[in-house]
């Protein structure tokens, strides 16, 4: 590998006047919360800003419905079900206890209305009706939930139902819930607005979203509450301030008010003491390297994903970027193949690493190019 100097696109970004700040500020310890577990993470960079017992197994209660929604929306995207489907209400769905949308057995309800009843009203009846429509039965739907969970990297999660009803084999962690929250925002932006709706009326029954942060903090636009006697009061919240979006997970508090207070403390801490910015966009060249025996002499290298970083406020001048690249690049090259690494440091600490990938295909050159480059390589 060959080490390259700070490359121009990042150097340009880091020297922008807008990025200049005063002397670095101090960052206090995260707030202590009266909860079983919690986690605060930045949506764009994925950096964890505060955590406690984030990998401890907990009951998700109605936070489960985040995964129920993720599966339903995924199947809509695949075309296996449609938002305008008329979903029959089974007796099992109608008889569900706990929070309800109050759908009626034997009637048909549009799928998009059931989504509202599940997300806004946390309806257990709506959750089961959706599960049965998507997979034929709730048991089969649960299999889909666990498959999608593994695909998302939720390695410490297992679902036993679509509602969050207590079950010994139904568990998750704060870290896995944050991962799921980020996936909902990233994969279904056109549906994410549903999570900030404050109320919904069905069957002439008006119910309010249980996420009280929607009323007291204009930055908050989701996501889901949960509560059972054994799980306590839980809340996965997301809030956006300027270009920065945070996700907080608070599990096992003593009351509705306590979960809102704890979540707001985390969000305030993150927004006050940290900042997130885009360092470099995907698919934009960071450098070009000589590629041998190819149709072209130069191969542009860049990132496969946008590079966001989260750092303490006032420390942008401390950010340094460097990269290492393969010593010799030989054709053929395929777009997306790694040929090095980008390393971002805050002072002496590495805060991000990303593969440096080919941004285009370069096939092998003709016979003449192969002969010429083979000769040149003898002197390289």
Burial of 32 (0-12, 13-18, 19+ CB in 10 A): exposed
Q: Which of 11, 17, 43 is nearest to 222 (CA)?
A: 43
Candidate list 45, 62, 90, 248, residue with the active-site label: 62
Rounded to a whole number of angstroms, the distance between the first and last alpha carbons of the chain is: 15
Q: Provide DSSP, 213-272.
A: HHHH-TTEEEEEEEEETTTEEEEEEEEEETTEEEEEEEEEESSHHHHHHHHHHHHHHHHH
Is the previous residue joined to 173 through a cis bond, with omega within 30 degrees of 0? no
46: left (phi over 0), alpha (psi -120 to 50) or beta: left
Q: Is 106 in contact with 93 (CB distance < 8 Å)? A: no
Q: Examine the residue annotation and report whether 62 is marked as an active-site residue of this protein.
A: yes
Q: Does 2 qualify as catalytic in the annotation?
A: no
Token code pair at residue 91: 């007796």
263 annotated active-site = no
Out of 45, 90, 99, 122, the active site residue is 122
CB-based contacts of 103, cutoff 8 Å, min separation 6: 89, 93, 94, 109, 114, 117, 123, 125, 126, 129, 202, 203
Q: What tokens does 346 get?
A: 């805050």
Considering the candidates 65, 100, 293, 354, report the single residue annotated as catalytic: 65
Active site residues: 62, 65, 122
């Amino acid at each position: 590998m060959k080490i390259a100097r700070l490359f121009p696109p990042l150097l340009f970004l880091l020297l922008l006047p807008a990025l200049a700040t005063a002397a670095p500020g101090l960052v206090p310890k995260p707030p202590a919360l009266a909860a079983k577990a919690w986690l605060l993470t930045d949506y764009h960079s994925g950096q964890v800003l505060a955590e406690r017992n984030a990998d401890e197994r907990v009951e998700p209660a109605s936070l489960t419905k985040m995964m129920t929604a993720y599966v339903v929306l995924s199947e809509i995207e695949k075309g296996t079900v449609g938002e305008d489907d008329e979903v029959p209400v089974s007796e099992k769905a109608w008889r569900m206890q706990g929070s309800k949308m109050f759908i009626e057995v034997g009637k048909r309800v549009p799928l998009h209305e059931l989504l509202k009843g599940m997300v806004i009203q946390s309806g257990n009846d709506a959750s089961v009706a959706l599960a049965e429509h998507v997979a034929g039965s709730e048991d089969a739907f649960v299999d889909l939930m666990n498959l999608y969970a593994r695909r998302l990297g939720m390695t410490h999660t297992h679902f036993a139902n679509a509602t969050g009803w207590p079950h010994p084999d139904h568990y998750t962690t704060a870290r896995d819930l944050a991962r799921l929250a980020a996936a909902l925002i990233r994969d279904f932006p056109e549906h994410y607005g549903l999570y900030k709706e404050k109320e919904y009326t069905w069957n002439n029954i008006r119910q309010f979203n249980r996420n009280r942060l929607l009323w007291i903090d204009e930055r908050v636009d989701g996501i889901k509450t949960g509560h059972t006697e054994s799980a306590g009061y839980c809340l996965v919240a997301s809030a956006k301030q300027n270009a920065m979006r945070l996700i907080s997970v608070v599990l096992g508090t003593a009351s509705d008010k306590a979960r809102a207070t704890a979540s707001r403390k985390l969000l305030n801490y993150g927004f006050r003491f940290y900042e997130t910015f885009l360092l470099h966009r995907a698919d934009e060249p960071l450098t070009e390297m000589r590629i041998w025996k190819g149709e072209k002499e130069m191969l542009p290298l860049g990132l496969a994903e946008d590079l966001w970083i989260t750092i303490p406020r006032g420390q942008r001048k401390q950010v340094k970027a460097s990269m290492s690249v393969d010593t010799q690049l030989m054709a053929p090259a395929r777009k997306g193949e790694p040929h090095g690494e980008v390393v971002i440091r805050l002072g002496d600490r590495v805060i991000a690493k990303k593969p440096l990938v080919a941004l285009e295909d370069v096939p092998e050159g003709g016979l003449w190019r192969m002969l010429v480059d083979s000769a040149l390589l003898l002197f390289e």
